[in-house]
Amino acid sequence: MAIAFKDYYETLGVSRDAAADDIKQAFRKLARKFHPDVAKNKVTGEEKFKEINEAYEVLGDPDKRRRYDELGANWQDPAAGHAPQAGPGRGRPGYAGPGESDFEFGGTGFSDFFESFFGRGRGRSGRNPGFDGDPGADFPSQGADVEADLLVSLEEALRGSERKVTLRRPGAGREADRINTYKVRIPPGVREGQRIRLAGQGNAGTGGSQAGDLYLRVRLARHPDFTVQDADLNFDLDLAPWEAVLGVRVRIPTLDGATSLRVPPGTAAGSRLRLRGLGLPREDGSRGDLYASVSIKTPPSPSEEERALWEKLAKTSTFRPRSRS
């Protein structure tokens, strides 16, 4: 089944020549608006959140963005790129990935029936040629395991949750597609790439053998405020120059709600201020930390009065940033 082309630039509301920072800001703005925990319409918000994550998964990665710009809907095809391809603006149809199983595969797995419709089968197909020369004979063979992506928010990774996930299996011949719904428990502390096993929900076996398993591979959703490193979270903290020099107390978001952070006087750009125990759960039951990474921002268009103050500071200050003494 071909995957319809999706204009990720349109999804994020940015131009095709948008800078990386503009793409990040657009994602953050939309993710805050449509996050399932805050969206007014939970169903619409969740679907929009998946679409936004899918778009940022591609456009927020320089290599993926370059392939997407060059190849359009075929950007994930390993064979694409060896011959001229239509670009994103030309509406080129998508491609269906390898058919190791009877589950659909392709794309990034972040929209439509996200939780499992991009499954990839593993193992044997459950069909073997007969020893009596009959190539269609069925012999006992366990069904293939199937893997699929499961989008998990950081809030779910912190507290755990129980979700209903939907899987679509294409029907054989004229049979209609089968849609299966599963109730899945997401344990606290799940990590990127961790697999949740649903026993017996993979491909059917043959000759009376058992079915394979369905493995849901955790993909942590991009968060508008935090990035993840193991059990630790990182928050980009922008400071004005005077705040960095004089010190300030700021309110910053956490997964447990906003909290107050003291920025000490003389804080330099690149500093990381740690808030203990406000990260994600570790395997031992403790929690990681939240780090505020400091960037110092300057006024883009100072007024005449502000410029006069900066000029006065430049004349009176004894600070010499390039002095080697």
**The pLDDT value given to residue 131:** 39
Instruction: Establish if 135 belongs to a structural domain.
Output: no
**Count of structural domains within the chain:** 2
**The pLDDT value given to residue 325:** 63
**The pLDDT value given to residue 172:** 66
* Residue 192 and residue 279 share a domain: no
Instruction: Establish if 113 belongs to a structural domain.
Output: yes
* Residue 189 and residue 98 share a domain: yes
**The pLDDT value given to residue 211:** 86
**The pLDDT value given to residue 189:** 92
**The pLDDT value given to residue 34:** 87
* Residue 304 and residue 195 share a domain: no
Strand ranges (E), 24-169:
120-122, 145-152, 161-169
SS3 152: strand
Residue carrying structure tokens 């349109």? 10
CB atoms within 10 A of CB 290: 25
CATH number for the domain that contains residue 157? 2.60.260.20
* Residue 250 and residue 211 share a domain: no
**The pLDDT value given to residue 27:** 95
Which among 231, 216, 226, 215 is positioned nearest to 284, based on CA atoms? Answer: 231
* Residue 309 and residue 254 share a domain: yes
SS3 222: coil
SS3 290: strand
* Residue 90 and residue 42 share a domain: yes
Instruction: Establish if 102 belongs to a structural domain.
Output: yes
Instruction: Establish if 133 belongs to a structural domain.
Output: no
* Residue 54 and residue 167 share a domain: yes
On whether the CB atoms of residues 12 and 23 are closer than 8 A, the answer is yes
SS3 240: coil
* Residue 181 and residue 114 share a domain: yes
* Residue 275 and residue 244 share a domain: yes
Question: What residues contact 85, with CB distance under 8 A and at least 6 apart?
Answer: 70, 71, 72, 74, 92
**The pLDDT value given to residue 108:** 38
Give the pLDDT means over successive 10-residue stretches in the chain (325 positions): 73 94 93 81 78 90 90 69 41 28 38 36 37 52 84 92 80 75 90 90 82 89 92 96 96 95 96 96 94 95 94 93 78
**The pLDDT value given to residue 76:** 67
Q: Please report, for residues 299, 300, 302, 305, 315, the alpha-carbon distance to residue 312 in angstroms, rounded to integers and kept in the order given.
A: 16, 18, 14, 11, 5
Range of the domain at 243: 226-316
* Residue 43 and residue 190 share a domain: yes
* Residue 163 and residue 248 share a domain: no
Asked which of 202, 220, 238 is the last residue of a domain, the reply is: 220
Which among 121, 133, 124 is positioned nearest to 209, based on CA atoms? Answer: 124
Residue carrying structure tokens 């239509």? 86
Helices 42-59, 20-34: axis angle to 10 degrees equals: 160
* Residue 262 and residue 161 share a domain: no
